[in-house]
Structure 1
Amino acid sequence: MKSVKSLLTATLALAALTGNLIAGTCTADFANIKQTIRGFGAATVTSQGTITDTHFNVGFGSGGGTVGLTIARIRIPPSTNSSDWAGEVSNGAKAKSRGAIVIASPWSPPASMKDNNSTIDGYLKTSSYGAYATHLQNFVNYCRNNGCELYGISIQNEPDIDVDYESCHWTADQMRVFCRDQMGIFYTTKVMMPESFQFRKAMSDPTLNDAAARANVDIICGHIYGGGIEAYPLATSNGKELWMTEILNTDTSLSAVIGTAKQIHDCMNVAGFNCYCWWYLKRDYGPVNETGARTKRGCVIAQYARLVRPGSVRVACTANPSPGVFVTAYKNGSKAVIVAVNTSTSTVRQEFKIVGHSVSSLNRWRTSGSEDLATLSAVTVSGGSFTDSLPGQSVTSYFQP
């Protein structure tokens, strides 16, 4: 026993001396399919200022220097005058022309339809339910006629938060009634709700528990400000996808940027979300900076978005094989993708085991304090296993060529 303790002490001391952490094996089972991934995205709303072709090319491109986003989120202006919709729809069309799908969210119904006659705060009048559904349908038609066919439309952005900008309150039961009585008119555009600021299940449970209302809803969506990253069995058991449609973090430190990778990991692995969408496309703290260059955070998002393309599926994987290391695995068509995030400040020598899939080598990309989606030499996979060093505070993607 004494010799075993001595060996363990020596091993720990060596790990501390070399700066390496002791790792367990990460097993990725490509025969065990989880959720389908619809993509990664960002908002192209006009409130962030002019978004140039360079911003769109970098954000929604798929080649070198790009982020690889495939979902654009636009705003539905609170106006019944279609000329007021042109800017938002133009941005959506530019993203769509680059291969993205487009979703739309209203921050408020038109003021005339609300009980306070304002686009800030207040509630949609019950007597305006039909008019508001028609307003949403008119926006869908306008988008279709202007090169921006919508994939999905939300009923309301963040109906459960108090703010002093464009907004509208809804109760969970109001949403249930509205979905039940009004949203059956959308046949080709997917209906999304409730878009809670914290992915609060209480905002969508009543709709999911009402068969008539549930039938008119395709996607349960929400944001993750301060919480909400958790599984939602009531939604998935009823065949509804889970979309995370907004989050931001203005902190651009390396730890915060790597934290975004950990957040993506949690959204995919813990919550089983089908997509991950950032807030503004164009910001220094977002995927693309003001001048049109990909940011460090954009590189981190690209470690997923450039490889886990729409229609990919997540597969079972040892999520936390080593202290500070978080791993997800995917099948992009017939190709394997593994993304490993090391949130610790120490290098981890990580072993990976691949089952249910045949592969002899994997290409590597890495983002760290000194690397921005850097292309590294390929790793050899022998007998379904390989081992690699994960630098502290880094994201490494392994993928079949």
Structure 2
Amino acid sequence: MRMWNEITSVLIISLLVSGCSVEQKLDLEVYETSAGGSKMQPVTEFTVGDDPLIIGLLPEEEYQKITGFGGSFTEASASLLNALGEANRKKVIEAYFGDEGAKYSLTRTHMNSCDFSLTNYSYAPVEGDNDLLYFSIEEDREDIIPFIKEAMEVSSEGFKIVASPWTAPPWMKDNKDWRGGKLLPEYRDTWALFFSKYLEAYKAEGIDIWGFTVENEPLGNDYNWESMHFTPEEMTDFVRDYLGPRLEEDGHEVKILGYDQNREHLEEWVDEMYRNKENAKYFDGTAIHWYASTYEVFPEALQYAHNKAPEKYLIQTEACVDAEVPKWKDDEWYWSKKATDWGWDWAPEKDKYLHPKYAPVYRYARDIIGCLNNWVDGWIDWNMVLDTQGGPNWFKNWCVAPVIVDVEKDEVYFTPLYYTMKHFSRYIRPGAIRIGFENPDKTLQITAAKNPDGSIVAVILNPGTEKKEFKLTLEDRSHGVIISGQALQTIIIGSASTNN
């Protein structure tokens, strides 16, 4: 018997020495948010059956570098934070930017007013002031600037800001109106100077602007609120001949993102922006929105844009549950297929199929996952904070934000959309590289990335009502995982994972 044991030991040692692979257990952390009520809850149950689904992570397959995730500094959000008590104001800002929160890394704000402003205003109100001698960001000093500065104070890793104009001041436009119209040719120099002045003014406040979009929604919004129209050719000409040279001459190092509207028109815009080296010189990337559909991410258009300019940024700069009033402290609504958007009523008949009722959590998670899996490198939500009406908004264009507040009662509601954003923004950090994966279950939606610190993150959406068991594999290691029905899960692998 002793001889048999010795022979067995020798055989085992020989197998190991000869390189026979032995599967090892993955070291991982799992957090889940679900319709059942969990909110970034650590998962501790890992026992799966004998024949689980196998999901493989493929770190050798590398795709785009991630720029970041976050939301937008609007006058609406900033004014609401001003109206809250100090404790709740700090609570919201910490939740978005603090080390224990969502750690937003990529944000947006508006230049001049937008629909989520309290009134119409411009930093250049004086007609005929072609040299912008009276340019002033005074309008932002009570709300947007303090909001940004407090976020900067609590953000240990910092964040990037993209600034977008909805319109030039009416006196520079052919229709002399806040809504619609085009920039008059004689003011192209002045409008380019406006961007430079804005950078300098914010720099003087201690705020660096990382990038611009040239125009929010250049195709317009049916003249409902602030807008200014460009064709692809007009925007490209303005950037090539005016904006790019002005920023370069003034010594500004800032990214310029073209387009900035829905994805169904993306191809014609990138065709013009990147038609030749002269056109492409000052464009650092392309910005997109999601409002053309409540479920379709337009993967072919995203792939086309990436292939047209693979070295350029492709950033989702705006998304929200639009045309809805927020549901106050009703988590179930955000997980249910009850929401509608503008297209439910107003889309052309041929496009109505793109706008069915939807579950807000699924819409967010599906879009972020779909965007990442089709070369998008940054994803920015719209308002960070709105009130129970879905405003304030001077046009009464009510929408939903991840955080809803009741300023009269000094109450804050973190909707499931906040936790949905946090699943991505907290754990997939700037500089991460999206990696490949194998997923035989098409009912689960997955994306994965490798962070600069070496940790690997997978985010999985299970929109089905039944729980799923699977074995997650990475090289020669694996671990059983269970995801609840109607749940979003983030899995972190590696010593650098962040405690929730």
Give the TM-score of the pair, scaled to structure 1: 0.82
Q: Where do residues 122-133 of structure 1 align in structure 2 (5 Å cutoff)?
A: 122-133=181-192
Once the 2 structures are TM-superposed, how far is the Cα of residue 103 of structure 1 from its aligned partner?
A: 1.1
SS of the residue corresponding to residue 204 of structure 1 reads helix
2:169 maps to which residue? 110
Cα RMSD for the two superposed structures: 2.1
Q: Where do residues 356-367 of structure 1 align in structure 2 (5 Å cutoff)?
A: none
Summarize the Cα distance change of 1:338–1:223 in structure 2 as closer, same or farther, 3 Å threshold: same
Bigger relative contact order (CA 8 A; separation at least 6): 2
Summarize the Cα distance change of 1:192–1:323 in structure 2 as closer, same or farther, 3 Å threshold: closer
1:278 aligns with 2:381: yes
Summarize the Cα distance change of 1:306–1:222 in structure 2 as closer, same or farther, 3 Å threshold: same
2:224, 2:238 → 1: CA distance?
25
Contact 1:323/1:344 (8 A) holds in 2? no
Contact 2:53/2:469 (8 A) holds in 1? no
Contact 1:199/1:222 (8 A) holds in 2? no
Once the 2 structures are TM-superposed, how far is the Cα of residue 53 of structure 1 from its aligned partner?
A: 3.5
Equivalent of residue 139 in structure 2, options 67, 70, 84: 84
Contact 2:450/2:456 (8 A) holds in 1? yes
SS of the residue corresponding to residue 289 of structure 1 reads strand
Cα deviation code 1:251-298 (max 9, x no counterpart) = 7421421332122111111x2111111111013742323144532111
1:68, 1:352 → 2: CA distance?
26
Summarize the Cα distance change of 1:235–1:391 in structure 2 as closer, same or farther, 3 Å threshold: closer
Q: Where do residues 191-202 of structure 1 align in structure 2 (5 Å cutoff)?
A: 191-198=256-263, 200-201=265-266, 202=268
SS of the residue corresponding to residue 182 of structure 2 reads coil
Once the 2 structures are TM-superposed, how far is the Cα of residue 221 of structure 1 from its aligned partner?
A: 0.5
1:373 maps to which residue? none
SS of the residue corresponding to residue 403 of structure 2 reads coil
1:16 maps to which residue? none
Equivalent of residue 329 in structure 1, options 442, 445, 448: 448
Cα deviation code 1:364-389 (max 9, x no counterpart) = xxxxxxxxxxxxxxxxxxx4222212
Summarize the Cα distance change of 1:74–1:307 in structure 2 as closer, same or farther, 3 Å threshold: same
1:151, 1:29 → 2: CA distance?
32
The residue type paired with residue 254 of structure 2 is T
1:166 aligns with 2:215: no
Equivalent of residue 364 in structure 2, options 246, 256, 260: 260
Cα deviation code 1:187-234 (max 9, x no counterpart) = 411111110234622233211113212110112111011245422445
Once the 2 structures are TM-superposed, how far is the Cα of residue 88 of structure 1 from its aligned partner?
A: 3.2
Cα deviation code 1:349-378 (max 9, x no counterpart) = 1222213xxxxxxxxxxxxxxxxxxxxxxx
2:425, 2:253 → 1: CA distance?
26
2:63 maps to which residue? 34
2:197 maps to which residue? 138
1:140, 1:75 → 2: CA distance?
13
Q: Where do residues 38-53 of structure 1 align in structure 2 (5 Å cutoff)?
A: 38-48=67-77, 49-51=79-81, 52-53=89-90
1:306 aligns with 2:426: yes
The residue type paired with residue 169 of structure 1 is H
1:286, 1:300 → 2: CA distance?
12
Cα deviation code 1:316-355 (max 9, x no counterpart) = 113x531421111111121111111101111111222213
2:4 maps to which residue? none
Contact 1:199/1:221 (8 A) holds in 2? no
2:99, 2:404 → 1: CA distance?
17
Query: Which ranges in structure 2 are unaligned for 5 or more consecutive residues?
Result: 1-48, 82-88, 113-121, 125-134, 327-332, 337-358, 389-399, 406-410
2:312 maps to which residue? 240
1:330, 1:300 → 2: CA distance?
17
Once the 2 structures are TM-superposed, how far is the Cα of residue 236 of structure 1 from its aligned partner?
A: 4.8
Contact 2:316/2:379 (8 A) holds in 1? yes
SS of the residue corresponding to residue 414 of structure 2 reads coil
1:326, 1:235 → 2: CA distance?
21
SS of the residue corresponding to residue 57 of structure 1 reads helix
1:89, 1:155 → 2: CA distance?
21
2:99, 2:418 → 1: CA distance?
13
2:70, 2:440 → 1: CA distance?
28
Once the 2 structures are TM-superposed, how far is the Cα of residue 101 of structure 1 from its aligned partner?
A: 1.4
The residue type paired with residue 383 of structure 2 is Y
Contact 1:390/1:396 (8 A) holds in 2? yes
2:277, 2:145 → 1: CA distance?
33
- Out of 291-300 and 158-167, give the one that drifted further: 291-300
- Out of 47-56 and 275-284, give the one that drifted further: 47-56
Summarize the Cα distance change of 1:23–1:229 in structure 2 as closer, same or farther, 3 Å threshold: farther
Contact 1:220/1:235 (8 A) holds in 2? no
Once the 2 structures are TM-superposed, how far is the Cα of residue 90 of structure 1 from its aligned partner?
A: 3.6
Question: Alignment length, in residue pairs?
Answer: 350
Cα deviation code 1:9-47 (max 9, x no counterpart) = xxxxxxxxxxx9x96422211111111111111111103
Contact 2:334/2:416 (8 A) holds in 1? no
Contact 1:258/1:394 (8 A) holds in 2? no
